[in-house]
Chains A and B, each alone.
Chain A
Amino acid sequence: MDYLVAVLLPQLLHGLVFGAALGLLALGLTVIFGLLGVMNFAHGELYMMGAYAGIVVIGVTGSFWLALVAAPVIVGVLGAITEAATLRPLYRREPLYGLILTFGLALVFREGVRQIWGGDMRRILPPFTGSTPLLGMTYPDYRLFLLGASSVLLLAIWLFFTKTRAGIIVRAAVQDAEMLDGLGVNVPRVFTLTFAGSAALASLAGLLLAPVFTVYPQMGVEMILLAFIVVILGGMGSMGGSVVAAFVIGLAQSLFSLWMNPQRVAIAIFGIMIVVLIVRPRGFFGREGVLE
Chain B
Amino acid sequence: MSRVFGWRSAVAFAALAALPWLPGVPKYYLLLAFDALLFGAIAMSLDLLIGYTGLVSFGHAAFYGLGAYATAILLERGILSLWACLGFAIVVVGLYAAVVSYFATARRGIYFALLTLIFAEVVFTFFRYTQTFGGSDGIQGLPDALVFPGVAIDTPARKYYLVWVYLLLAYAVCRVLVTSHFGRVLVAIRENEDRARFLGYNVQKYKMLACMISALLTGLGGAIYPIRAAFATPDLMLWTESGEFIISVMIGGLGTLVGPIIGGVFFTLLRDKVSSYVDWYFIVIGVVLVVIVLFLPKGLLGLRRALGFGRWRATA
Binding site for B on A (CB under 8 A): 33, 37, 39, 86, 89-90, 93, 95-97, 99-101, 103-108, 110-112, 114-115, 221, 225, 228-229, 232, 236, 263-264, 266-267, 270-271, 273-274, 277-278, 281, 291-292
Contact = CB atoms under 8 A, between A and B. Distances in A.
Contacts of B118: 229, 232, 270, 273-274, 277
Nearest to B193: A292
Contact of B293 (A101, A236, A292): A101
Contact of B246 (A100, A115, A228): A100
Interface of B: 50, 56, 103, 106-111, 113-115, 117-119, 121-122, 125-126, 128-129, 239-240, 243, 246-247, 250, 280, 282-283, 285-290, 293-294, 297
A272 B290 CA distance: 35
Nearest to A270: B122
B271 to A, nearest CB: 12
Which of B118, B129, B240 has the most chain A CB atoms closer than 10 A to its own CB?
B118
B122 A271 contact: yes
Contacts of B240: 221
Nearest to A94: B54
Given A104-B287, A111-B282, A267-B122, 4 more contacts: A96-B50, A96-B56, A101-B294, A267-B129
Contacts of A108: 282-283, 286-287, 290
Majority DSSP secondary structure for residues of A touching B:
helix
A281 B107 contact: yes
B282 A107 contact: yes
Nearest to B249: A100
Contacts of B128: 263
9 contacts: A101-B289, A105-B290, A111-B283, A115-B280, A263-B129, A267-B125, A267-B126, A274-B118, A281-B111
B184 to A, nearest CB: 20
Nearest to B190: A94
Contacts of A101: 289-290, 293-294
A264 B125 CA distance: 8
A105 B286 CA distance: 6
9 A-B pairs with the lowest CB-CB distances in the bound complex, closest first: A104-B289, A107-B286, A108-B286, A263-B129, A292-B108, A104-B290, A101-B293, A111-B282, A111-B283
Nearest to A289: B108
Given A111-B283, A292-B107, A228 B293 contact: no
A292 B109 contact: yes
A291 B56 CA distance: 14
A89 B297 CA distance: 12
A15 B189 CA distance: 43
Contact of B247 (A103, A105, A264): A103
A36 to B, nearest CB: 12
A273 B113 CA distance: 14
Nearest to A41: B243
A95 B107 contact: no
Given A39-B114, A107-B286, A263-B129, A99 B56 contact: yes
